Amino acid sequence: MNKEPFFWDNYSDQPQVIKDKIYKKSMRKKHIKDYIKLLFSSIFILPIAILFMKFFRGKVETSNRDFIGLGVNLDKDDGKNIQQELVEELGVKNLIIRLPLWDIQNIDLYVDFVKSFNEKSPKNILLNIMQDRENIENLEFLKQSLELIFTKFSSFVFEYQIATTINRAKWGFFSVKEYFQFYKIAQNLKEEKFPNIKLLGPSVIDFEYYYNVRAMFNLGKIKYDIVSAQLYVDRRGSPQNRQYGIFDLKNKIDLLFSLVKLSPKCTDDIYITEVNWPIKNTAPYAPTSEKECVSNEDYTKYMIDYFKIAKNSYKIKRVYWHQLIAPGYGLVDNRDGKIIKYPQFYAFKELLEARL
């Protein structure tokens, strides 16, 4: 990821904003036709989805342990199995683990890391395969990388999110068309050699469902086994806060589910694979500016509300909290080599033990 103009921010665990404005402008101009397709498909599909969103009823009924998941990362591993111990303490069994394609040379470390969480009790692992520009532009190289990943993991990992945050240029994609080409490599490998795995997409972040429309309503031979979304809701407030007058978390879920029901490209299963709130006074670890940050007390309340609303919609199969160790937005602060459990850590544990 640290190849100009793409650079990784180790504090907030995400790419930095692209500073080369000339490059970004030229790339967007190059993909202007796809933006036009995105615009027109949204004009036709979104009104229909909004019209029908209250008619589709969810049927997902599940326990908190099956519903709630958590992110853990190899780069937070200190060699002392702290994450593994914290996961066991929480009692969470669904884990999402990032595997950056730009670190493919260390794949065996990721294999060992994933396996380490199954030593005391079995876990359901979702592997989040994160893209870089090199793999987006070189599809033959991407095929080699994905085939290696599936070969190494497919006997014990059965779900793979193919790319992440596809609607943010700093993550590498400049159009949904580029994502189609990327995803199709994984889909072809599944169909040819790895039929036992499930692929997740399109992994759009925030309430930008026009990208979902382009990704889920098209003429390409794309099929999502599970629809993934990174559904953040009002960084500065509660899940009940509204966008565009009516879209609180409940209505955003209703609209997403409506798109899923109407789309011929996917099943009805939806995973929210990333959500959190940024924490006050944790810069530079917070993933946003201080203006959007909230107290740990508000974070805890919003987290509980988020899980409750999503679960009671009966339309979301699983929500993965991002992530276990992250001083600026997670459940645990590891600054200065110390492990400090935030209040939300204990609330998360209680959620796993209780009914919402």
Handedness of CA 324, 5, 173, 163 (dihedral sign): negative
Backbone dihedral region of 302: left (phi > 0), alpha (psi from -120 to 50 degrees) or beta?
Answer: alpha
Say what the pLDDT of residue 356 is: 57
Profile the chain (356 residues) by mean pLDDT over runs of 10 residues: 89 96 96 97 98 96 96 90 97 98 97 95 97 97 98 97 98 98 98 98 97 96 97 86 94 98 98 97 96 96 97 98 98 95 98 82
- Helix/strand/coil percent split, the chain, to 5: 45, 15, 40
Say what the pLDDT of residue 57 is: 96
pTM exceeds cut of 0.75:
yes
Q: For tokens 């798109």, what's the residue?
A: 259
Q: Which candidate, 114, 14, 15, 76, places its Cα nearest to that of 326? A: 76
Contacts of 106 by beta carbon, 8 Å cutoff, 6+ apart: none
Helices (H), 53-175: 64-67, 82-90, 107-116, 133-137, 139-153
Say what the pLDDT of residue 78 is: 80
19-353 folds as TIM Barrel (3.20.20)
